[in-house]
Amino acid sequence: MNMRYLAFLAIILLAGVAFAQPKLKKTQISKEISVSLPQDFTPMTDDMIARSYPATTKPLAVYTAPSGQIDFSVTQKRSMFGAGDLDMLREFYKASIMEKFTKVDFIRQEVTKIKGQPFIVFEFVSSLAGEKNSMLKPVQKYSIIQYTIKGDQLMIFTLHAPFAMKNDWQPTAREIMDSVKM
């Protein structure tokens, strides 16, 4: 075999390894909540959560990839609404998402059942432009956000990845979000 052929085969093999879907393992978030996450995802420390998620309601848990570029989080808040209100709430949450970003392109926006539990599911690509006079390019992200109501608690599950990683991560992201069990 000539060296060019071997080099080509090596490149193909390496590319296949680089884009192989990560193996998922069941992760217990709380007594009632579990999700399948990539084996190399680790929980963020409280300090990391405070820096990455500065909000009035601290997430219940945040897991991140070794690169720090992909995050999965779970947030729990009190809700005055019930699970039967998800269709109505979908428009409010959609407006909230559209308000946070300069541009949003929705891939999916639906109310669906996951493991028997109704969820609002938004899958989208977002852009957030810098200041008007900034020379920075807009920040683009690929995200899936799922909302559900259990009892009097609103549960929000989010997964964010850089837009450049969307094609490689979309199947895994969907698998993660479809594995949420309550």
Residues in CB range of 57: below 8 A, 6 or more apart: 75, 76, 77
Q: What share of the chain has pLDDT > 90, as a percent?
A: 69
pLDDT in tens, 139-154: 899 999 999 999 999 9
Q: What is the mean pLDDT of the chain?
A: 87
Integer-rounded Cα radius of gyration of the chain: 19
pLDDT in tens, 44-97: 988 888 888 877 788 999 999 999 999 999 999 999 999 899 999 999 999 999
pLDDT-derived band at 22 (thresholds 50, 70, 90) equals confident
> Within its chain, how far is the Cα of 101 from the centroid?
16
pLDDT in tens, 124-134: 999 987 655 55
Q: What integer is the mean pLDDT of 96-119?
A: 94
What is the predicted pLDDT for the residue at 131? 59
- Is the pLDDT assigned to residue 182 strictly greater than 50? yes
Q: Which residue has the tokens 């559209």?
A: 98
Domains present along the chain, CATH in parentheses: 22-178 (3.40.1000.10)
